[in-house]
Amino acid sequence: MALTEVAPGLRRWTAWHEEWEEDVGCLAVDTDDGLVLIDPLDPPAELSPPDHVLLTIHWHARSAQAPHVWAHKRTARLLANRGVELTDPIDSGSSLPGGIAAIETARPGEVAYWLPRQKAVAVGDVLLGAGAKPRDTGEPLRLCPERWLGKATHDDLRESLAPLLQLPVSRVLVSHGEPVLRGGGRALATALAG
């Protein structure tokens, strides 16, 4: 479970997830507002306690322990059921620590995060990287299975993620599978093209 620096002020680690039976990706972002962890699972000992935890979706509450826990406002009850207090609910236009921006996805209660300093997008379950279950296609990025979206469709998901194509994305950091560390904008455009 080694920390890997993927860009200045941005580190990634993986940790074993019992339910998925594979390693999942987690992020640490140094910001002017303190240390931010995104979807943390068993943070490495060399990390100081975070000031903020940002969750892409309630399933990723795993090790969400910080003075400020941020997630979509629709997840408050689901997080409470997991013993996590949502201190800072997110909706459209929420101001997040370190200039990070949340992008709502078509999956109810799930957001992606834009990290402008690192030109990176952090996603939970709506995009999967190479090597991730189920049915890996070998592509650097792919949409999650449509059945994960509830009543939404892949077309709805593409539309909700389309604003990311307007950003200077270099990296796409996924929870499941291999991250895209170069050419992230190109890989994202390919995944969203259908």
Residue 24 pairs in a beta bridge with 15
Is pLDDT above 90 for 134?
no
What integer pLDDT is reported at residue 68 of this predicted model? 92
- Indicate the domain borders of the chain: 4-193
Q: CA distances (Å), 165 to each of 40, 98, 158, 160, 172, in order?
A: 26, 21, 10, 11, 12
Which residue type sits at 53?
A: V
The whole-number pLDDT of residue 19 equals 73
Predicted confidence (pLDDT) at residue 145 exceeds the cutoff of 80: yes
This prediction has a pTM of: 0.94
At residue 64, does pLDDT exceed 90?
A: no
Predicted local confidence at residue 184, as pLDDT: 95
**Which CATH code is given to the segment(s) 4-193?**
3.60.15.10
**The pLDDT value given to residue 114:** 96
Report pLDDT for 63. Answer: 80
- What DSSP state is assigned to residue 144? P
Q: Quick one: pLDDT band at residue 20, thresholds 50, 70, 90? A: low
pLDDT for 170 beyond 70: yes
Residue 82 has pLDDT above 70, yes or no: yes
pLDDT of residue 87: 94
pLDDT over 90 at 26, yes or no: yes
How many angstroms separate the CA atoms of 98 and 101, rounded? 9
Cα separation, 127 vs 154, in Å, equals 11
- Radius of gyration for the chain, computed over Cα atoms and rounded to the nearest angstrom: 15
Beta strands (DSSP E) in 46-158 are 52-54, 68-72, 88-90, 101-104, 111-115, 120-122, 127-129, 141-143
Phi first, then psi, for residue 77 (nearest 5°) are -65, -40
